[in-house]
Amino acid sequence: MSNRTAVWVAIIAGVIVAGAAVSYFQTAGSDSDGEAAPGVTEAVATLVAVGDCPWGEASCILAQGIERALQTGNIDAVMKFGAPRFYICAGGNLGPLPLCEGLGPDEGRRGYALRRRFSAETAVSEAAAKQRLQSFVGSVRSNARDEVGSGGLRLYAFSCDRLAVRVQPVSCAHVGIVLSAIVADGQDLRREVLIFWAVGGFAGRTLPFTEVWDGEVLPEEVDVLFTDGGKLADLGDVHVIDQSLRR
């Protein structure tokens, strides 16, 4: 792919994200009148502006769209902010699994990368990705509290694990949108993160997310993720947004 083609691909993808955001924001009002998904009892009627955008305003717009859709339990709207990758499979159940199961050599499918923190990455279909997100949202316990605050699913931070190259008009090439909630696992409650990874584009926009991570928050990570920011081995540089509006 030539440099010029890559630029146009980035521009087009950025326009798609912007269009999805506008479309969802225009329809969010009608969604807010219905019942929230199980465990999501703190859905807000209007979006709270995020004024602290460490890696560009576009990433904040994307993050707010994802947060709003999750808080109203609208997983279909969440997926509108994503874009599946095309994976080439090696055949014989080789390649990203379970997406490549049953495919022959040089065949491929589109899907999303999913990862449980500190575990191996898998690739799944869009339907499976939606099911994973629905399961996470359904496990949220908004009425619970811990040292961080309420258990509702909210945007807390951004992360960057790969800086952009000089020719890009963005500072981060791989932006993590870090949300967190208290979730139920049987009788146990614990705080977890839900992270959407998106690419910083050559057009200065943040492109759709292609990866979703989840996982437990370790005790030694609480200050980095929710108060002070800093660096984590798997997330890179973490920048905590203003918590005064989020408690």
Average confidence (pLDDT) over 96-100 = 78
CA distances from 138 to 33, 134, 144, 183, 214 (A): 19, 6, 14, 9, 14
Residue 90 domain-assigned?
A: no
Average confidence (pLDDT) over 113-141 = 94
The three-class DSSP label of residue 208 is: strand
For the chain, how many structural domains are there in total? 1
Conformational region of residue 177, where left means phi above 0, alpha means psi within -120 to 50, and beta covers everything else: beta
Average pLDDT, the chain: 77
Residue 123 domain-assigned?
A: no
Helix (H) or strand (E) holding 223: helix 222-226
Structure tokens at 59: 């990433």
Q: What is the pLDDT of residue 164?
A: 74
Q: What is the pLDDT of residue 8?
A: 36
Residue 201 domain-assigned?
A: yes
Residue 107 domain-assigned?
A: no
> What is the sign, positive or negative, of the torsion defined by CA atoms of 172, 175, 180, 186?
negative
Residue 98 domain-assigned?
A: no
| Pairwise CA distance, residues 126 & 78, whole Å | 11
- Confidence check: pLDDT of 202 > 60: no
> What is the sign, positive or negative, of the torsion defined by CA atoms of 139, 78, 118, 218?
negative
- Confidence check: pLDDT of 166 > 60: yes
Q: What is the pLDDT of residue 212?
A: 97
- Confidence check: pLDDT of 203 > 60: no
Write out pLDDT tens, residues 29-79.
333 333 333 333 333 333 345 667 888 888 888 999 999 999 999 999 999
- Confidence check: pLDDT of 159 > 90: yes
Residue 120 domain-assigned?
A: no
Residue 77 domain-assigned?
A: yes
Residue 127 domain-assigned?
A: no
Residue 15 structural domain: 3-82+139-245
Q: What is the pLDDT of residue 187?
A: 87
Average confidence (pLDDT) over 157-185 = 85
Residues of the chain above pLDDT 90, percent: 50
